[in-house]
Amino acid sequence: MSRIPLPYSPKVLELFRNPKNAGAMEDATVSATAGSPICGDVIAIYLKIGEGDIIKRATFESYGCAANIATASILTEMVKGKTLREAWNITWREIAEELGGLPSIKFHCGALAVGALRRAIRAYYEKRGRPPWMPEEATLEERQALEAEKLKEILSRKLGGGEGDRPNR
């Protein structure tokens, strides 16, 4: 079986080859991890938040395909200097547009990046009280982007490698 390469934009390919803001942030104010049960991709987002709830820095770690790395990378660029409320309102479609488009089979990568960002913002406000603009319930993107532990559990069950399935040693 031959594999046909996906039609990635030049910007997606550039950010895949040379991602911006890649790596953990030791002094992050907050971080969140999210994974996709569709393909097994995982993104960790780290935010350094300053006075007035302004995002001073953003970095990411990624385990996944070119689109996953590119969407996380561009998202970290898009949120810098924004308030948490402004960052919350970024959509996966805006990420895709900023990248010059994504193949439709990779739209979930944008949703995963948004889900990880929103999880981080929600975690930040858990300690400070939820602002009135933030929905009480998790958004679609947050629900679609499973926590890494939940993803591991689902993938393990699908692959038949759950803890109870291992032989005793």
> What is the distance in angstroms between the CA of the first residue and the CA of the last residue of the chain?
39
Alpha-carbon Rg for the chain in angstroms = 17
Q: Is 109 among the catalytic positions?
A: yes
Instruction: Say what the alpha-carbon torsion angle 63, 64, 67, 73 is, to the nearest 10 degrees.
Output: 0
Q: 30, 44, 69, 109: which one is catalytic?
A: 109
Residues 6+ apart with CB under 8 A from 133: 85, 88
Q: Is 65 among the catalytic positions?
A: no
Q: 13, 22, 28, 39: which one is catalytic?
A: 39
Query: Which residues are annotated as catalytic?
Result: 39, 109
